[in-house]
């Protein structure tokens, strides 16, 4: 579960975030999201009217959303990590592609409201899917009239083929692997699937997959047979289950050597990577609004500009002249430019009102503690208590980059979040943001052991260097000795995941794949989860996680996650630091269809720009 | 032409009250201080002195090589009836290399390393005369042969670094004489050369001088080489001329104590080899703060023989000791002569 | 001279072999697992191993090196399990899985950009700094000299990204005198090319201009005191001839070495300038290859850039021997 690609290295190097975890998160910060399966289709039949109705008082958007124009997307990246629909796994990329070129069975609702946005809307499917067999079988029926860009119909076979590609892990690498995890296909002894993907499967191996995923006779209904009950499998199908026509598949180079086959309202006209490179999307002539009530593609064209300098980008966005008037920026505003556009995180400077927004990004940031090395819980408690979280946040960029965190489940996960009281009552007394070295010393003496010498891992960037120094100073004030072990940014995660090379504690981050802590607690704190930087492997905890995963009553499941989040914090497998926030900006010539007064908002499901909702004024 | 013929032809070069000073951040550098002398056509004047004595600056002043913007220059320099100090830059440039030419101490650094020697010589021709390329080359070749370059027809296309030190100086001489100048200034022409080559070069200058009827100013710190080539010798110290005399007079009847010092430090074949060279104790004066009286006074052994401490306070004038012998010294003439004769006797080995 | 050149070229080939080997081994010693980098945040060990095999990282390093060299001479095929395997013809410098492109293709796309950037900046900085340097030297100690030296000092102390941002802010964003740079080939759109390159040239030339202005001035001043310049003056040559033919010829020749090597270094990529102006040159390609731990790309660019520099070294040496007769090559 979860997806992180080579993007680690790039953004980690910026020193802004190291937790470049792709994924979706939804739910507002305070209110609970209703269970996904109960969410009705919003099914707006014509986009403009639907959007206009949500912003009746908008002065900027008084004329309402309209079609036309070109929207530019400025990015520092040299390219999209992956264009292949089975391989794309960076939140922002997925948000962009799903709004423009790729359709999936289900999609997240377009809304500035996190609760609403975290609910599914049928996309290629006619409804939100039908579970049966105790949620071990899921069935989706395709809409009529859905086509690829060449006009050929999108069939069950195309969705099935797209899904099968995920199993070719040697070629289709880097993408989400939920299909492998959940589809009812036997495993080899080493845990890999017996189905090696469509490229080199024998007839017998292909039969295994054909049994797990079946199509109806009319090729319009797809059935997934799962190896376990998955109550929220309709969320899962937003990740890597897009259709790909078999005839067009070129494997490793799919989507790059030639444009990928589009199913959404736009198609790729050209794609050049690197500095000065562009991806140009034009309208897909074979897309029809009738077959896609979910999207309202306002711009006539999209142009993604790669390889821009972040400082230059900020200035271009702030000045907003020429083509930049209709530009969006991939990634946040740099810390030094925040004061230009914001009064405080909740208030824009007047001339930038509606153009900038500060809100939760998908990531929770934390310091993992290797419990195989630091086995004494009191020592870990002392580390948490001693940590100067206030300095950490200040160095990272202050209140614009995040709220102080109390766990790894973030408030934007909706009902799964509950305060853990980690810093108020959990350790018996309130812990100030700046840390409490005296109390930490007490905890060390209670541990019955001497304060150990600790090695701290972090990506070697200027910002993290300063953060590491603050971590070192605050823990040393409590009597620890801390050795700093910086790691080149491009190698950070591959190093800390190597038990032989990892230190005692270090910087980490994680974003949920969809608005359910099933994509947070298991990956972070179970061995099979894939992101277990803490090396936690507690049998009781593992059992409780399995039970929560199988819980089909969503509110009950939420309570389970809340409890597990609190338990992990009590055992101090990680010290939560920040609930990350991003500061986005859009050009003065753009507006959103559903934002307040047509203003910019962070689209909750991917913590991204609202690509599906912007239009040229 | 009706006026009476003059008994004596005017000197080719006449320097009158020449002073050259360079303003610097540390103060005014008085490089040449009220220097006057003259050289008759075809004669050789040697200007002798230590480094910093002002001899090279005097030569450069005659050549017009002193940067007018960087220096204060007063006095007169008359060359063949023409005053040079007041001459406009372009006219001076026309004289340089044609009327007055110069060769330098280090022929290696004085020749341009990037150009063939023939080209460097013909460049001097083209600077002053309209001559075709072929004729200029032929002329250069002939001059190279005349200065004794063997296989000159091959050497003419050599670069300076391909020649020996003596050959390079011969090239320099060829280049200086190519336009048949009236005056040749040779600034330490042999200092950088091997001893065996020194004599050849001096001999070459001497023979060319008579062949081309050139007047020569030989600038040197070495009184030893002067004897064979110079008609007259001017000794400079601290920017001033301290003694001028015909060569034989200077050698046999020197009067200025500084000249005596120079003479006693010259190794000579006719002297007792057991006699050690006697360098002048002390250092030359700083050109920024010249002593108020006699510039040589701080190093002079005989200052206490002058009553009233005049050496330290009063500037001695350059006065006639004989009609062709000028001396700048406070000591009475007889006493000077006595000191000199005693010393010369000692040097000659006849101790007392 | 021909024998010398051949010998140098042979040495160059040997050096390049050693260099690629060094890059291979160095990368192998870096912390981190290149195979781990290829798959997502929940990478099962079997997927990592599959990728390791696919990328050839499971082979001994010497075998990998052998495959790389084999690719240069005979070509290679990558991702043979894919429906469309990637055929990389000789000379094959490798295939970048993170960019889905052949390394040689990327380098050949980036090289012209860097070439024009470097050569243009070179022309700007050499012409400006030599003119102003000589001007300063001729007016040594007076106000033009002080002005030029002052400019040089300011130029020295301004980092190029600052100048770049300043120019972008005013010239492009505030006053809209130029469009935002978008590289086009000079053969396709000469005007667009000039509009794009003029600011990068200025930025890239800035620091070098400051340096070379000072160097030129000092070199020329030094030669003014050379004996052969005095000789030239004593010959009665006109001042212009003395300055141009005697002083400058000798004073500027040593600049050839410095300028040649600086140009070669720039031809390997100008990271900051390329980044600020989003020029798709070798510098940004190199930086990104390192950030992405893209071994094939790192190796390819290292090989390309070092070939350039070694080659430039040879050219500079030959040129110097041509310009200064004292230097003999054998």
Residues in B touching C249 (Cβ below 8 Å): 114
Task: Copy the structure tokens of residue B4.
Answer: 């009476």
Do you find a cis peptide bond into C91, omega within 30 degrees of 0? yes
CA distance readout (Å), A91 to A22, A161, A490, B150:
5, 23, 19, 87
pLDDT above 50: residue A517 = yes
Residues in A touching C86 (Cβ below 8 Å): 252-253
The pLDDT-based confidence of A271 (bands split at 50, 70, 90) is very high
> Rounded distance, CA C218 to CA A274, Å?
42
> Rounded distance, CA A300 to CA B299, Å?
98
Distance from CA of C145 to the nearest CA of B (A): 16
What are residue A221's DSSP bridge partners? A141
Q: Residue B263, SS3?
A: helix
Q: Determine, for residues B65 and C230 on separate chains, whether the beta-carbon distance falls below 8 Å.
A: yes
> Rounded distance, CA C315 to CA C196, Å?
30
Q: Determine, for residues A275 and C180 on separate chains, whether the beta-carbon distance falls below 8 Å.
A: no
Give the CA radius of gyration of chain B. Answer: 21
What integer is the mean pLDDT of B340-350?
77
Which partners does chain C have (≥3 C-beta pairs < 8 Å)? A, B
| B266: number of Cβ within 10 Å | 16
Spacing of C-alpha C206 from chain mean position: 16
Q: Is A322 on the interface with C (CB under 8 A)?
A: yes
Those residues with Cβ within 8 angstroms of residue C5's Cβ, 6 or more apart along the chain or in another chain:
C314, C318
> Rounded distance, CA C116 to CA C111, Å?
9
Considering only residues C251 and A610, tell me which one the structure prediction assigns the higher pLDDT: A610
pLDDT above 90: residue A552 = no
Task: Copy the structure tokens of residue C286.
Answer: 């190199």
Task: Copy the structure tokens of residue B336.
Answer: 């000077």
Q: Determine, for residues B111 and C253 on separate chains, whether the beta-carbon distance falls below 8 Å.
A: no
Strands (E), chain C: 76-78, 86-88, 95-96, 101-102
Residues in C touching B128 (Cβ below 8 Å): 236
| A111: number of Cβ within 10 Å | 23
Q: Which of B97, B101, B113 sits opposite C326 (nearest CB)?
A: B113
Those residues with Cβ within 8 angstroms of residue A457's Cβ, 6 or more apart along the chain or in another chain:
A485, A486, A487, A492, A495, A496, A502, A503, A505, A506, A507
Residue-level pLDDT at C44:
61
Check: CB of residue B48 under 8 Å from CB of residue B35.
no
C73 CB burial (10 A radius; 0-12, 13-18, 19+): exposed
Q: Which of B93, B111, B176 sits opposite C228 (nearest CB)?
A: B111
Residue-level pLDDT at B275:
52
> Rounded distance, CA B240 to CA A339, Å?
75
Spacing of C-alpha A282 from chain mean position: 26
C-alpha angle C139/C143/C147, rounded to 5°? Answer: 100
Q: A368-425 pLDDT, tens per residue?
A: 999 999 999 999 999 999 999 999 999 988 899 999 999 999 988 888 999 999 999 9
Check: CB of residue C76 under 8 Å from CB of residue C67.
yes
CA distance readout (Å), C243 to C5, C135, C224, C255, C306:
34, 11, 8, 16, 38
Those residues with Cβ within 8 angstroms of residue A524's Cβ, 6 or more apart along the chain or in another chain:
A408, A510, A531, A532, A533, A534, A568, A573, A574
Check: CB of residue A583 under 8 Å from CB of residue A598.
no
Residues in A touching C179 (Cβ below 8 Å): 322
Write down the pTM of the prediction. Answer: 0.79
Q: Is A168 on the interface with C (CB under 8 A)?
A: yes
Alpha-helical (H) ranges within C139-189 are 143-157, 160-167
**Residue owning tokens 């050497």:** B155
Q: Residue A368, SS3?
A: strand
Residue-level pLDDT at A74:
95
> Rounded distance, CA A39 to CA A37, Å?
6
Q: Which of C230, C235, C250 sits opposite B114 (nearest CB)?
A: C250
DSSP string, A406-473: SSSS-GGGGGG-----TTTTTTSS---TT--HHHHHHHHHHHTSPPPEEEEEEE-SHHHHHHHHHHHH
DSSP string, A269-318: EEE--STT-EEEEEE-TT--GGG-TT-----SEEEEE-S--HHHHHHHHH
**Given phi > 0 = left and psi -120 to 50 = alpha, else beta, which region is A535?**
left
Q: Determine, for residues C42 and A308 on separate chains, whether the beta-carbon distance falls below 8 Å.
A: no
> Rounded distance, CA B139 to CA B175, Å?
11
Mean pLDDT of chain A: 86
Distance from CA of C39 to the nearest CA of A (A): 4
The pLDDT-based confidence of A82 (bands split at 50, 70, 90) is confident
Q: Determine, for residues A170 and C81 on separate chains, whether the beta-carbon distance falls below 8 Å.
A: yes
**Residue owning tokens 């001076």:** B92
What integer is the mean pLDDT of B96-123?
92
pLDDT above 80: residue B174 = yes
Q: Which of C40, C169, C285 sits opposite A315 (nearest CB)?
A: C169
Q: Which of C39, C179, C288 sits opposite A173 (nearest CB)?
A: C39
Q: Find the Cα–Cα–Cα–Cα dihedral A171, A177, A182, A186, rounded to 10°.
A: 30
Spacing of C-alpha C26 from chain mean position: 22
pLDDT in tens, chain C (330 residues): 788 888 888 888 888 888 888 877 777 666 556 676 666 555 666 667 777 777 777 888 888 888 888 888 999 888 777 788 888 988 898 888 878 889 999 999 999 999 999 999 999 999 999 999 999 988 888 888 898 888 888 887 888 888 888 888 888 888 888 888 888 899 999 999 999 999 999 999 988 888 899 999 999 899 988 999 999 999 999 989 998 899 888 888 888 888 888 888 888 888 888 988 989 999 989 988 887 778 888 888 888 888 888 888 888 888 888 888 888 776
Spacing of C-alpha B235 from chain mean position: 9
Binding-face residues of B in 102-121 toward C, CB within 8 A = 102, 104, 106, 109-114
Residue-level pLDDT at A554:
82
Q: Is A190 on the interface with C (CB under 8 A)?
A: yes
Task: Copy the structure tokens of residue B83.
Answer: 């005053």
Check: CB of residue C105 under 8 Å from CB of residue C188.
no
Q: Which of A252, A274, A490 sits opposite C82 (nearest CB)?
A: A252
> Rounded distance, CA A267 to CA A285, Å?
9
Considering only residues A179 and C181, tell me which one the structure prediction assigns the higher pLDDT: A179
> Rounded distance, CA B193 to CA B315, Å?
38
> Rounded distance, CA A581 to CA A345, Å?
10
Spacing of C-alpha A447 from chain mean position: 38
Residues in C touching A171 (Cβ below 8 Å): 54, 79, 81-82
What integer is the mean pLDDT of B110-128?
94
Q: Which of C40, C79, C181 sits opposite A5 (nearest CB)?
A: C40
Binding-face residues of C in 246-305 toward B, CB within 8 A = 246, 249-250, 253
Best of B71, B99, B115, B181 to mutate (most C CBs within 10 Å, chain C) = B115
What integer is the mean pLDDT of A20-24?
31
Residue-level pLDDT at C65:
85
Residue-level pLDDT at B273:
53
Spacing of C-alpha C262 from chain mean position: 7
Q: What sign does the dihedral A140-A141-A145-A151 (CA atoms) show?
A: positive
> Rounded distance, CA C2 to CA C8, Å?
10
Count of CA atoms in the C-beta half-sphere (13 A) of A147: 13
């Amino acid at each position: 579960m979860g997806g992180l690609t080579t993007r680690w290295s790039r953004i980690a190097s910026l020193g802004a975030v190291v937790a470049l975890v792709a994924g979706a998160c939804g739910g507002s910060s305070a209110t609970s999201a209703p269970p996904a399966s109960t969410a009705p289709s919003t099914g707006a039949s014509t986009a403009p009217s639907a959007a206009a109705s949500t912003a009746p008082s908008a002065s900027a958007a008084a004329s309402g959303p309209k079609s036309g124009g070109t929207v530019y997307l400025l990015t520092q990246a040299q390219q999209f990590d992956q264009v292949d629909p089975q391989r794309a796994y960076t939140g922002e990329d997925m948000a962009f592609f799903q709004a423009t070129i790729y359709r999936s069975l289900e999609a997240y609702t377009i809304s500035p409201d996190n609760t609403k946005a975290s609910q599914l809307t049928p996309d290629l499917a006619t409804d939100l899917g039908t579970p049966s067999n105790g949620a071990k079988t899921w069935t989706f029926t395709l809409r009529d009239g859905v086509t690829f860009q060449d006009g050929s119909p999108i069939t069950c076979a195309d969705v099935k083929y797209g899904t099968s590609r995920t199993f070719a892990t040697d070629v289709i690498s880097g993408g989400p692997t939920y299909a492998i995890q959940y589809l009812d296909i036997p495993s080899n002894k080493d845990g890999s699937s017996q189905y090696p993907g469509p490229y080199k499967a024998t007839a017998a191996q292909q039969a295994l997959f054909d049994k797990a995923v079946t199509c109806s006779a009319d090729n319009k209904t797809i059935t997934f047979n799962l190896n376990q009950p998955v109550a929220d499998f309709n969320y899962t199908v937003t990740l890597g289950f897009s259709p790909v026509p078999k005839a067009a598949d070129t494997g490793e180079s799919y989507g790059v050597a030639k444009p990928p086959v589009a199913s959404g309202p736009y198609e790729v006209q050209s794609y050049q990577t690197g500095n000065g490179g562009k991806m140009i999307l034009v309208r897909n002539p074979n897309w029809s609004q009738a077959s896609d009530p979910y999207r309202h593609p306002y711009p006539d064209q999209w142009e993604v500009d790669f390889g821009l300098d972040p400082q230059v980008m900020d200035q271009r966005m702030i000045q907003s002249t020429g083509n930049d008037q209709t530009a969006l920026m991939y990634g946040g505003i740099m810390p030094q430019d925040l004061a230009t556009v914001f009064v405080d995180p909740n208030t824009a400077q007047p001339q930038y009102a509606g153009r900038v927004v500060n809100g939760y990004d998908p990531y929770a940031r934390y310091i993992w503690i290797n419990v195989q090395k630091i086995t004494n819980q009191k020592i870990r408690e002392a580390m948490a208590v001693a940590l100067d979280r206030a300095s950490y946040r200040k160095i990272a960029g202050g209140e614009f980059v995040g709220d102080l965190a109390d766990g790894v489940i973030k408030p934007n996960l909706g009902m799964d979040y509950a305060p853990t009281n980690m810093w108020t009552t959990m350790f018996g007394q309130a812990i100030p943001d700046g840390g409490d070295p005296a109390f930490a010393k007490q905890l060390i003496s209670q541990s019955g052991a001497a304060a150990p010498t600790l090695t701290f891992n972090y990506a070697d960037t200027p910002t993290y260097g300063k953060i590491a120094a603050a971590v070192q100073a605050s823990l040393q004030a409590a009597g620890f000795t801390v050795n700093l072990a910086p790691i080149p940014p491009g190698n950070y995660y591959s190093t800390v995941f190597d038990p032989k090379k990892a230190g005692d504690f270090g910087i980490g981050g994680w974003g949920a794949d969809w608005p359910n802590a099933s994509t947070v607690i298991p990956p972070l704190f179970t061995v099979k989860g894939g992101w277990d930087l803490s090396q936690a492997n507690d049998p009781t905890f593992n059992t409780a996680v399995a039970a929560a995963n199988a819980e089909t009553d969503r509110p009950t499941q939420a309570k389970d996650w809340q409890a597990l989040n609190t338990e992990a914090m009590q055992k101090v497998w990680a010290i939560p630091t920040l609930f990350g926030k991003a500061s986005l900006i859009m050009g003065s010539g753009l507006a959103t269809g559903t934002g307040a007064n047509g203003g910019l908002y962070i689209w909750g499901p991917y913590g991204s720009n609202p690509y599906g909702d912007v239009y040229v004024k | 032409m009706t006026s009476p013929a003059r008994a004596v032809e005017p000197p080719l070069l006449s320097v009158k009250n020449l002073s050259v000073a360079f303003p610097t951040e540390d103060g005014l550098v008085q490089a040449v201080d009220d220097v006057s002398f003259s050289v008759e056509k075809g004669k050789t004047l040697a200007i002798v002195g230590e480094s910093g004595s002002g001899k090279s600056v005097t030569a450069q002043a005659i050549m017009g090589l002193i940067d007018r913007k960087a220096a204060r220059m007063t006095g007169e320099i008359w060359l063949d009836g023409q005053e040079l100090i007041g001459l406009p830059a372009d006219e001076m440039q026309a004289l340089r290399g044609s009327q007055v030419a110069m060769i330098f101490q280090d022929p290696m650094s004085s020749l341009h390393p990037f150009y063939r020697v023939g080209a460097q010589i013909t460049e001097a021709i083209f600077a002053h005369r309209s001559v075709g390329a072929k004729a200029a080359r032929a002329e250069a070749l002939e001059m190279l042969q005349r200065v004794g370059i063997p296989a000159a027809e091959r050497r003419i296309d050599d670069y300076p670094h391909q020649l020996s030190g003596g050959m390079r100086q011969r090239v320099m001489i060829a280049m200086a004489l190519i336009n048949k100048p009236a005056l040749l200034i040779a600034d330490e022409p042999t200092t950088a050369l091997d001893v065996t080559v020194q004599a050849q070069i001096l001999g070459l200058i001497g023979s060319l001088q008579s062949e081309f009827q050139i007047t020569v100013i030989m600038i040197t710190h070495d009184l030893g080489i002067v004897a064979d080539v110079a008609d007259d010798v001017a000794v400079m110290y601290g920017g001033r001329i301290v003694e001028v005399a015909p060569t034989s007079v200077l050698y046999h009847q020197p009067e200025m104590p500084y000249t005596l010092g120079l003479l006693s430090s010259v190794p000579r074949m006719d002297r007792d080899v057991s006699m050690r060279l006697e360098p002048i104790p002390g250092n030359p004066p700083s050109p920024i703060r010249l002593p108020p009286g006699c510039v040589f006074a701080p190093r002079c052994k005989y200052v206490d023989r002058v009553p009233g401490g005049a050496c330290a306070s009063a500037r001695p004038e350059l006065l006639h000791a004989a009609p062709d012998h000028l001396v700048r010294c406070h000591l009475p003439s007889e006493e000077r002569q006595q000191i000199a004769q005693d010393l010369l006797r000692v040097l000659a080995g006849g101790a007392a | 001279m021909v024998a010398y050149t051949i010998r140098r070229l042979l040495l160059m080939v040997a050096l390049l072999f050693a260099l690629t080997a060094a890059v291979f081994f160095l990368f192998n010693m870096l912390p981190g697992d290149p195979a781990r980098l290829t798959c997502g945040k929940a990478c099962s060990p079997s997927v990592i191993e599959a990728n390791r095999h696919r990328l050839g990282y499971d082979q001994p390093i010497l075998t990998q090196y052998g495959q790389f060299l084999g690719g240069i001479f005979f070509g290679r095929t990558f991702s043979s399990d894919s429906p469309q395997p990637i055929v990389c013809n000789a000379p094959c410098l490798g295939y970048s899985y993170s960019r889905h492109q052949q390394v040689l293709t990327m380098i050949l796309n980036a090289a012209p950009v860097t070439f024009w950037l470097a050569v243009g900046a070179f022309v700007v900085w050499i012409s400006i700094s030599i003119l102003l340097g000589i001007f300063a030297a001729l007016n040594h100690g007076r106000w033009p000299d002080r002005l030029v030296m002052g400019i040089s000092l300011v130029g020295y102390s301004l980092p190029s990204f600052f100048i770049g941002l300043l120019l972008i802010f005013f010239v492009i964003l505030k006053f809209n005198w130029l469009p935002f740079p978008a590289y086009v080939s000079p053969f396709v759109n000469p005007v667009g090319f000039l509009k794009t390159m003029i600011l990068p040239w200025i930025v890239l030339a800035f620091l070098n201009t400051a340096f070379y202005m000072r160097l030129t001035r000092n070199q020329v001043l030094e030669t003014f005191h050379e004996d052969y310049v005095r000789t030239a003056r004593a010959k009665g040559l006109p001042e212009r001839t003395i300055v141009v033919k005697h002083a400058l010829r000798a004073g500027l020749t040593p600049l050839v070495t410095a300028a040649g090597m600086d140009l070669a270094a720039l031809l390997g990529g100008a990271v900051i300038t390329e980044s600020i102006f989003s020029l798709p040159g070798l510098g940004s390609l190199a930086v990104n290859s390192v950030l992405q731990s893209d071994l094939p790309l790192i190796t390819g660019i290292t090989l390309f850039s070092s070939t350039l520099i070694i080659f430039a070294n040879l050219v500079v040496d030959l040129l110097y021997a041509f310009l200064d007769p004292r230097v003999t090559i054998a």
